């Protein structure tokens, strides 16, 4: 297949998925407590490009190329002009001339991203490897010397690298605080800091939500708008009385008596939260929730708005549509060139 066609096709497919994320954000612009999603993309692995029928010569000796190295806090950056750094990806090794990495909790050199609290994360990220494809541990090492030693120098018939295009990597949820607006509702609750209400289903599975639009069911139990019980520290909360108030500590007061406390927590590993619908989250399969105490306040009679900025999302959508149109034009041009090659040049 013509490589230009393939690269542009992957761009169109990626932009289509990014557009789906944007439209879902816009559809929930008025949903209480909704947190927008952001799309992360990455290129396919950079593969070495060699001369056709090139002679296989011996690899260059190490030490002939000095790398450029700098560090900024936890982030290390290295670049090389003659050789390549090797990164292990799920789709094979990638050869790059410039690399940014951190040292993870186990001491390995890995690529990274930053969450909305600017904390560095390495889950689902790639390992930097040596020439034998082994992940490198750098804890306690001189990282500059280590980076110099792992540069791969290919044979002389290798002339560069090429990529097969772009792919959609994953969604990342932006948990930044939305605006808090007053509603006056008795069971409308908002959190003014990082944290989650805990809810449960009939089977006892625990979910997390920022949507504080709660209600009372026919049994007097405090539930979400879709019927899941809101969890208290001692279990489900039943309201039997007329005067109901909820203080800033999450204490539920009915007719002057405290009947329980809302179970509100924050999560150290909230990057593993996955949306399951109804504005609720569940931990990824095989991951235990790292719950820590909630440090903010509970506001009764208020709701947190969605953190989606409709104007920014619309601007990004227009940009995506322009990119999609440009990709279509590039594919059309490639197709026309292939048509000329097969119909006109073939007659000569």
Tens of pLDDT along the chain (348 residues)?
577 888 888 899 999 999 999 999 999 999 999 999 999 888 888 888 888 776 655 454 444 557 899 999 999 999 998 889 999 988 889 999 999 999 998 999 999 988 767 788 888 889 999 877 889 998 888 898 898 889 988 888 888 888 888 888 888 899 999 999 999 999 999 999 999 999 998 888 999 999 999 999 999 999 999 999 999 998 899 999 889 999 999 999 999 999 999 999 999 888 899 999 899 999 999 899 999 999 999 999 999 999 999 999 999 999 999 999 998 998 888 888 888 877 776 565
Say yes or no: 144 and 196 in one domain: no
Residue-wise DSSP of 79-106: E-SSSBEEEEETTEEEEESEEEEEE-TT
Strand 180-182 and strand 109-110: the pairing is unpaired
How far is 200 from 277, CA to CA, in rounded Å?
Answer: 14
The domain of 125 spans: 45-162
Q: Determine which helix (DSSP H) or strand (DSSP E) holds 114, and give its type and residue range.
A: strand 113-114
Say yes or no: 142 and 198 in one domain: no
Q: Point out the domain boundary residue: 109, 128, 162.
A: 162
Report the predicted TM-score, pTM, of the whole model to 2 decimal places.
0.79
Say yes or no: 158 and 184 in one domain: no
Say yes or no: 272 and 158 in one domain: no
Say yes or no: 300 and 191 in one domain: yes
Residue 112's closest CA among 99, 125, 129? 125
How far is 123 from 133, CA to CA, in rounded Å?
Answer: 20
Query: Does 36 reside within a domain?
Result: no
Could you tell me if 284 and 274 are in contact, meaning their C-beta atoms sit under 8 angstroms apart? yes
Q: Point out the domain boundary residue: 304, 327, 343.
A: 304
Query: Does 152 reside within a domain?
Result: yes
Query: Does 97 reside within a domain?
Result: yes
Q: Point out the domain boundary residue: 105, 135, 162.
A: 162
How far is 281 from 78, CA to CA, in rounded Å?
Answer: 38
How far is 74 from 94, CA to CA, in rounded Å?
Answer: 23
Query: Does 81 reside within a domain?
Result: yes
Q: How far is CA 11 from CA 20, 124, 163, 172, 247, in A?
A: 14, 22, 12, 20, 51
Residue 71, phi then psi, degrees to nearest 5: -135, 145
Query: Does 310 reside within a domain?
Result: no
How far is 56 from 119, CA to CA, in rounded Å?
Answer: 45
Residue 280's closest CA among 345, 342, 205? 205
Query: Does 33 reside within a domain?
Result: no
Say yes or no: 213 and 291 in one domain: yes
Q: Residue 128 gets which letter from DSSP?
A: E
Query: Does 175 reside within a domain?
Result: no
Say yes or no: 90 and 199 in one domain: no
Number of separate domains in the chain: 2
Say yes or no: 277 and 242 in one domain: yes
């Amino acid at each position: 297949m013509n490589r230009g066609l393939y690269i542009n096709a992957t761009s169109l497919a990626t932009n289509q998925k990014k557009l789906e994320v944007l439209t879902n954000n816009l559809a929930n612009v008025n949903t209480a407590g909704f947190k927008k999603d952001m799309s992360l993309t990455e290129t396919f692995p950079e593969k070495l490009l060699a001369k056709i029928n090139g002679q296989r010569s011996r690899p260059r000796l190490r030490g002939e190329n000095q790398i450029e190295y700098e560090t900024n806090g936890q982030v290390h950056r290295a670049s090389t002009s003659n050789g390549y750094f090797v990164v292990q990806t799920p789709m094979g090794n990638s050869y790059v001339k410039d690399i940014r990495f951190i040292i993870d909790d186990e001491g390995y050199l890995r690529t990274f991203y930053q969450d909305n609290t600017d904390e560095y994360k390495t889950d689902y990220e790639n390992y930097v490897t040596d020439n034998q494809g082994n992940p490198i541990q750098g804890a306690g090492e001189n990282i500059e010397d280590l980076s110099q030693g792992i540069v791969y120098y290919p044979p002389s018939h290798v002339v560069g690298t090429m990529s097969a295009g772009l792919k959609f990597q994953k969604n990342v949820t932006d948990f930044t605080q939305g605006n808090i607006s007053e509603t006056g509702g008795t069971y409308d609750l908002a959190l003014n800091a990082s944290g989650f209400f805990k809810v449960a289903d009939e089977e006892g599975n625990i979910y997390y939500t920022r949507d504080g639009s709660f209600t009372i069911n026919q049994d007097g139990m405090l539930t979400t708008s879709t019927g899941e019980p809101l969890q208290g520290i001692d279990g489900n909360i039943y309201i039997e009385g007329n005067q109901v108030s909820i203080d800033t500590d999450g204490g539920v007061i009915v007719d002057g008596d405290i009947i329980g406390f809302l179970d509100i927590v924050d999560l150290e590993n909230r990057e593993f939260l996955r949306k399951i619908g109804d504005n609720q989250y569940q931990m990824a399969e095989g991951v235990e929730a790292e719950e820590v105490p909630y440090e903010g306040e509970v506001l009764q009679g208020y709701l947190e708005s969605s953190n989606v900025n409709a104007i920014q999302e619309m601007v990004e959508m227009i940009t995506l549509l322009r990119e999609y149109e440009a990709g279509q034009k590039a594919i059309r041009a490639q197709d026309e060139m292939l048509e000329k090659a097969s119909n006109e040049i073939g007659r000569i």
